[in-house]
């Protein structure tokens, strides 16, 4: 079965689909990932066929972090990013999908992917890393307030309506520039939409409204480091030199506030005196004037590194959240945008982490206090360890492959 996977965003929006593609290939299928050109080497180095989309994902993330937020502002930034490249994205998605047996699309390409699937008359699957487009009264849409069952369900209805209607308006504008596009934008948000979710049912149990014939929560799609992975000597030496450190990293979050956040993180670490590993990433966090008990690195596989740290402070991306939970480590999430506050609230509700602190409200006092609690709260640490053991027993990728086969 030829499976085309369409995704746009950060590495966290691509890496789980590489894991899924590898699982599909192992099951005898023929996957192709279409993603931003910046990820070509990453995808192909994992033995997965790749086709490029245009667009700069780093610039997009900075627009979401510094000018987005949630609701209408988030949609505004998405449209601002999408409009200049939309025609080319649709064209490349269509070209890559010819001959496919099924199309999978992540959040930003749900409507575009469905449009292409309709044109080619092939099945379509919504493949998501956070709950979206499948209404429930059990919890609110990520990024929107909820509380009561009615408010929760309303948040999903409002979010989907905003996403769909803003997309329709943008498509009408695009069609004026490209009259060859189909006359009407196809709407995927009906009762027939089939969805697979790449997170654990132990972290977010599927509500009763989600029936297996339409919606499957499969477990995380983890892409592990190769068995022969060898860390840089500086990282290996630092880990061997003392107690397990705290990990602090904000992944692919790019923001004008990087300098302020770096200063307060280093201030907090000086106050605690705790050993820490600081990940620079796309956001260029960190600095040259670091205490001896702090090591800055550019990257390391989360599955390898998180096994060797004592606690995790991160931005709350779905993939990083899953990796820290699987490692059984308590976490503090510092959310920036999109679904990150949702996962911060979720780990706090599970008792395996602290309540999230939005990056705009993060202070050295709050961070130093949070680090101390992550390291000393024995019941929280035990709960995190128990949940980690249960998640390690899951095989989300295999379950997702079975769901794709069933839905296709």
* DSSP line for 260-322: HHHHHHHHHHHHH---EEEE-TTTT---S---TTEEEES---HHHHHTT-SEEEE---HHHHH
Cα distances (angstroms) measured from residue 176 to each of 161, 236, 272, 383: 23, 57, 58, 56
Asked if 39 contacts 131 with a C-beta cutoff of 8 angstroms, the reply is no
CA 30, 391, 245, 340 torsion-angle sign: positive
- List strands edge to edge, sheet with 246-249: 294-297, 276-279, 246-249, 311-314, 331-333, 353-354
Residue among 12, 22, 108 at smallest CA distance from 321? 12
What tens-digit pLDDT sequence spans the chain (408 residues)? 999 999 998 888 999 999 999 999 999 999 999 999 999 999 999 999 999 988 666 555 555 554 445 555 666 666 666 667 778 888 899 999 999 999 999 998 999 999 999 999 999 999 999 999 999 999 998 877 778 999 999 999 988 998 898 888 888 888 887 777 787 788 999 878 999 999 999 999 999 999 999 999 999 999 999 889 999 999 999 999 999 999 999 865 545 567 788 888 889 999 999 999 998 754 455 556 788 899 999 889 999 999 999 999 999 999 999 999 999 999 999 998 778 999 999 999 999 999 999 988 999 999 999 999 999 999 999 999 999 999 999 999 999 999 999 999
What is the pTM for the complete model shown? 0.91
Phi/psi at 276 (5° precision):
-150, 150
Q: Is 143 helix (H, G, I), strand (E, B) or coil?
A: coil
Question: Tokens representing 262?
Answer: 């770096």
pLDDT of amino acid 337: 77
pLDDT of amino acid 359: 86
Cα distances (angstroms) measured from residue 297 to each of 62, 228, 236, 247, 248: 21, 20, 11, 11, 10
pLDDT of amino acid 255: 53
pLDDT of amino acid 137: 94
Identify the DSSP state of 144.
S
In whole angstroms, give the CA distance from residue 154 to residue 150: 6
- Kindly report the average pLDDT of the chain as a whole number: 89
Residue among 154, 110, 151, 116 at smallest CA distance from 130? 110
Q: How buried is residue 45: exposed, middle or buried, by Cβ count under 10 Å (0-12/13-18/19+)?
A: exposed
The secondary structure of the chain in percent helix, strand, coil, rounded to multiples of 5, reads: 50, 15, 40
pLDDT of amino acid 89: 85
pLDDT of amino acid 175: 80
Asked if 370 contacts 332 with a C-beta cutoff of 8 angstroms, the reply is yes
pLDDT of amino acid 282: 43
In whole angstroms, give the CA distance from residue 272 to residue 169: 51
Please state, as a whole number, how many other Cβ atoms lie within 10 Å of the Cβ of residue 113: 27
pLDDT of amino acid 320: 94
């Amino acid at each position: 079965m030829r499976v085309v996977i369409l995704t746009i965003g950060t590495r966290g929006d691509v890496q789980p689909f590489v894991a899924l593609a590898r699982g599909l290939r192992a099951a005898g299928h023929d996957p192709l990932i279409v993603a931003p050109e910046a990820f070509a080497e990453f995808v192909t180095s994992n033995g997965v066929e790749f086709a490029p989309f245009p667009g700069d994902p780093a610039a997009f993330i900075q627009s979401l972090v510094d000018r987005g937020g949630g609701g209408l502002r988030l949609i505004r930034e998405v449209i601002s990013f999408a409009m200049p490249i939309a025609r080319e994205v649709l064209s490349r998605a269509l070209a890559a999908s010819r001959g496919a047996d099924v199309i999978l699309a992540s959040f930003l390409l749900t409507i575009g992917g469905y449009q292409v699937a309709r044109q080619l008359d092939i099945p379509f699957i919504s493949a998501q890393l956070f709950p979206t487009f499948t209404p429930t009264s059990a919890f609110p849409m990520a990024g929107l307030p909820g509380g009561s069952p009615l408010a929760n369900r309303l948040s999903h209805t409002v979010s989907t309506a905003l996403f769909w209607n803003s997309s329709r308006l943008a498509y009408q504008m695009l069609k004026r520039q490209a009259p060859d596009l189909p006359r009407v934008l196809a709407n995927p948000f009906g009762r027939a939409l089939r969805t697979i979710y790449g997170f654990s049912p132990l972290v977010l149990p599927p509500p009763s409204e989600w029936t297996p014939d339409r919606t499957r929560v499969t477990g995380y799609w983890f892409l592990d480091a190769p068995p022969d992975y060898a860390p840089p000597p500086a990282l290996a030496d630092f880990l061997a030199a003392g107690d397990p450190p705290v990990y602090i990293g904000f992944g692919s979050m790019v923001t004008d506030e990087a300098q302020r956040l770096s200063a307060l993180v280093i201030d907090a670490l000086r106050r605690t005196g705790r050993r820490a590993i600081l990940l620079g990433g796309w956001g260029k966090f960190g600095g040259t004037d670091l205490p001896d008990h702090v090591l800055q690195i550019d990257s390391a596989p989360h599955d390898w590194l998180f096994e060797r740290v004592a606690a995790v402070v991160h931005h709350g991306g779905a993939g990083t959240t899953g990796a820290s939970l699987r490692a059984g480590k308590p976490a503090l999430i510092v959310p920036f945008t999109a679904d990150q506050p949702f996962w911060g609230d979720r780990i706090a509700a599970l008792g395996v982490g602290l309540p999230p602190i939005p990056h705009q409200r993060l202070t050295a006092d709050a961070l130093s206090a949070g680090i101390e609690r992550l390291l000393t709260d024995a019941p929280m640490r035990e709960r995190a360890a128990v949940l980690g053991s249960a998640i390690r027993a899951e095989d989300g990728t295999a379950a997702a492959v079975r769901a794709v086969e069933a839905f296709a």
